[in-house]
């Protein structure tokens, strides 16, 4: 199992490094969205819950782009067939894809979060950084797991690009809720307040539950 | 229901919509969860009839959910002054659940292979079915004061209210089950008719086109 996951993950990362298809597009999308928010809200700086909302909506929509592309190469170039022919546990695909998506999200946030601090955020990013990293990790795990499940569900449909956001956005509402509620006090103008633990535990519970669901149902999506 | 139950002291007659709205909501949510359980049964047995049951249950629950949103809006407008109240988690969660299930039909419709359609729809039904209690659990966690939770409301209300509510709930459940049975019967009959017509025409090809459909083919 571990060797399979490592092999699949290596393939995903090598593919992304060579084609540079998802991550640069997600980063560009995120930065453009900040510009859109600047004009849409007519604000030069944001703080508090507005800042948290802008950051999380941007990251969520950028993640949707990556989720849309997640299985496209496997679908179009026979990656599924190759994987199904191999005598390996099918859950390995879920784990590898989720870790790959998590890595993509991390790479995007490496640029998108400092860009947010530069372009829009009123209070300095440094004051919030350690706690923000915890929230980012908890939310990214949820987005990665649900995103992988939704991507695998939508890849076989004809209207794939339409199904992914329609399926993923309602499912990810709790993540956005928990993440922006947990982030809002970190972006307060008067200095970061404490990280609210109950919202963080909601995120953790969501991650755990959807990881279990995805583990239970993912095999049925890879049966042909 | 209109004359037996007492008139609410500060909301007046409009409060009676409670006896339609809440049973509708409970039955719709129960239907969503039941659809998920039937989808589990489909994946375990691979019996097409379970997929059909799951489809019919979710389909009718979506119809009831539209009713919940409409009656809820009317009630909210009458007692809070707005058609939709965002700081009311119960409403928001119901809207999210409705939006999620609204993609069930398009998802089925966009998968052509019937086996794959059944399998993917089941995976969706299980995931979404687990999402429903999770969401409402989260709402209970962040309890709000404006929307009285049904359970506490019935215990602190006079007996006539409880009785009327229970009768309304039972009626709604039975109505839902009857509608499910009707839709299932109609689907079975039209499948039989199609089979017979095909045999009359001397067409033995089972895969001959019946037109793409979101509904499962038996």
d(CA A191, CA A41): 23
H helices within chain B, ranges in order?
Answer: 18-45, 48-80, 89-101, 104-109, 114-141, 150-155, 159-200
Mean pLDDT, residues B61-86: 87
On whether residue B5 sits in a domain, the answer given is: no
Angle at alpha carbon of residue A96, lines to A52 and B109, rounded to 5°: 75
Which pLDDT band holds residue B78 (cuts at 50, 70, 90)?
confident
Report d(CA B142, CA A128) in Å as an integer: 25
Q: Residue A6 to residues A66, A95, A222: CA-CA distances in angstroms?
A: 20, 10, 19
What pLDDT digit, counting tens, does each position of A9-50 carry? 998 899 888 988 899 999 999 999 999 999 999 988 898 889
Judge whether B150 lies within some domain: yes
CB contacts of B103 in chain A (<8 Å) are 163, 166-167, 170
> Chain A closest CA to B124's CA: distance in Å?
8
SS3 content of chain A, % helix, strand, coil (to 5): 80, 0, 15
Token output for A155: 């890849």
Backbone dihedral region of A42: left (phi > 0), alpha (psi from -120 to 50 degrees) or beta?
left
Do the domain assignments include residue B212?
Answer: no
CB A113 within 8 A of CB A55: yes
Q: What is the pLDDT of residue A97?
A: 94
Chain centroid to CA B186: 19
**Considering only CB atoms, which chain A residues are within 8 Å of B122?**
220
Q: Which residues of chain A make contact with B112, given a CB cutoff of 8 A?
A: 158
Q: Name the residue among A202, A214, A221 with its Cβ closest to that of B138.
A: A202
pLDDT tens track for A125-184? 887 888 899 999 999 999 999 999 999 999 888 888 889 999 999 999 989 988 988 898
Residue of chain A minimizing CA distance to B101: A167
Question: Which of A163, A174, A217 lies at the smallest CB-CB distance from B135?
Answer: A174
Hey, which residues does A121 pair with through a beta bridge? A46
Question: What distance in Å separates residue A210's CA from the closest CA in chain B?
Answer: 8
Cβ-based interface (< 8 Å): residues of B facing A:
43, 96-97, 99-100, 102-103, 106-107, 110-112, 116, 119-120, 122-124, 126-128, 130-131, 134-135, 138, 141
B152-196 pLDDT tens trace? 554 556 777 888 888 889 999 999 999 999 999 998 898 889 888
A58, A133, A184, A210, B124 from A176: Cα distances, Å: 10, 15, 12, 15, 21
Residue at B7 is within a domain: no
Q: Do B103 and A159 touch (CB under 8 A)?
A: no
Residue A12, class by beta-carbon neighbours within 10 Å (0-12 exposed, 13-18 middle, 19+ buried)? buried
Across the range B44-59, mean pLDDT stands at 92
Which pLDDT value is given to residue B181? 92
Mean pLDDT of chain B: 83
Contact (Cβ atoms closer than 8 angstroms) between residue B171 and residue B160: no
Domain residue limits, chain A: 2-221
Q: Does the beta-carbon distance from A174 to B130 stay under 8 Å?
A: no
Would you call B96 and A170 a contact, using CB atoms and an 8 Å cutoff? yes
Q: What is the pLDDT of residue A89?
A: 87
Q: Return the C-alpha torsion angle B160, B164, B165, B166, nearest 10.
A: 100
Name which of B97, B120, B130 is nearest A221 (Cβ-Cβ): B120
CA A148 to CA B120: how far, in whole Å?
A: 14
Total domains, chain B: 1
Q: How many CA atoms lie within 13 A of B126 on its CB side?
A: 27
Q: Which of A156, A171, A174 is closest, CB to CB, to B120?
A: A156
CA nearest to B94 within chain A:
A170
- Whether the per-residue pLDDT at B21 is higher than 80: the answer is yes
Please tell me the distance from the alpha carbon of residue A67 to that of residue A222, in angstroms, as a whole number.
17
* Partner residues linked to B87 by β-bridges: none
**C-alpha distances in Å from residue A95, one per residue of A144, A164, A200, A216, B45:** 10, 19, 23, 12, 26
Angle at B119 between CA B114 and CA B121, to 5 degrees: 90
% of chain B residues with pLDDT over 90: 39
Q: Closest chain A residue to B121 measured between Cα atoms?
A: A153
Reading the block at residue A47, the tokens are: 């703080």
Facing residues of A46 across strands? A121
What ipTM did this prediction achieve? 0.87
Q: Which domain holds residue B167?
A: 13-199
Do residues B73 and A143 lie in contact, with contact meaning Cβ atoms separated by under 8 Å?
no
HSE of B166, CA atoms in CB hemisphere, 13 A:
10
Mean pLDDT lowest among A141-150, A185-194, B15-24 = A185-194
pLDDT: is A111 or B76 the higher one?
A111
pTM of the model: 0.86
Does the residue B50 lie in any domain? yes
pLDDT at B14 over 70: yes
User: Which residues of chain A make contact with B97, given a CB cutoff of 8 A?
Assistant: 170
Task: Look at residues A42, A187, A76 and name the one whose alpha carbon lies nearest to residue A127.
Answer: A187
Q: What is the largest CA-CA distance in chain B?
A: 70
Q: How many CB pairs under 8 A join A and B?
A: 68
Give the Cα separation of A58 and A179 in Å (integer). 12
How far does B159 lie from chain A, in Å, by closest CA? 37
């Amino acid at each position: 199992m571990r060797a399979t996951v490592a092999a699949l993950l290596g393939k995903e990362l090598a593919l992304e490094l060579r084609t540079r298809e998802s991550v640069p597009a997600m980063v560009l999308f995120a930065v453009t969205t900040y510009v859109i928010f600047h004009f849409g809200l007519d604000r030069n700086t944001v703080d508090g819950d507005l800042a948290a909302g802008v950051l999380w909506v941007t990251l969520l929509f950028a993640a949707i782009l990556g989720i849309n592309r997640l299985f496209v190469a496997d679908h179009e170039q026979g990656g599924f067939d190759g994987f199904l022919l191999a005598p390996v546990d099918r859950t390995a695909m879920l784990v590898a894809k989720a870790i790959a998506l998590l890595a993509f999200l991390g790479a995007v946030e490496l640029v998108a979060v400092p860009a947010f601090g530069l372009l829009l955020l009123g209070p300095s990013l440094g004051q919030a950084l350690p706690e923000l990293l915890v929230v980012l990790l908890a939310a990214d795990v949820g987005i990665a797991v649900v995103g992988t499940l939704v991507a695998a569900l939508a890849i076989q449909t004809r209207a794939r690009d339409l199904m992914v956001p329609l399926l993923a956005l309602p499912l990810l509402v709790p993540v956005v809720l928990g993440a922006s509620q947990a982030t809002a006090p970190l972006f307060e103008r008067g200095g970061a307040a404490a990280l609210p633990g109950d919202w963080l535990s909601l995120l953790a519970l969501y991650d755990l539950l959807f990881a279990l669901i995805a583990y239970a149902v993912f095999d049925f999506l890879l049966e042909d | 229901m209109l004359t037996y139950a007492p008139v609410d002291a500060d909301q007046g007659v409009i409060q009676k919509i409670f006896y339609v709205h809440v049973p509708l909501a409970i039955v719709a949510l129960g239907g969503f969860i039941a659809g998920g359980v039937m989808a589990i049964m489909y994946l375990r047995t691979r019996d097409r009839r379970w997929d059909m049951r799951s489809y019919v249950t979710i389909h009718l629950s979506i119809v009831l959910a539209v009713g919940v949103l409409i009656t809820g809006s009317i009630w909210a407008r009458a007692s809070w002054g707005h058609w939709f109240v965002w700081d009311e988690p119960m409403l928001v969660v119901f809207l999210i659940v409705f939006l999620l299930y609204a993609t069930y039909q398009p998802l089925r419709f966009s998968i052509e292979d019937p086996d794959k359609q059944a399998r993917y729809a089941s995976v969706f039904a299980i995931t979404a079915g687990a999402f429903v209690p999770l969401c409402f659990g989260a709402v209970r966690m962040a309890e709000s004061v404006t929307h009285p939770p049904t359970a506490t409301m019935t215990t602190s209300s006079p007996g006539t209210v409880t009785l009327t509510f229970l009768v309304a709930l039972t009626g709604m459940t039975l109505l839902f089950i009857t509608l499910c049975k009707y839709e299932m019967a109609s689907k079975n009959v039209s499948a039989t008719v199609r089979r017979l017509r095909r045999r009359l025409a001397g067409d033995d090809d089972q895969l001959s086109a019946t037109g793409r459909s979101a509904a499962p083919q038996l």
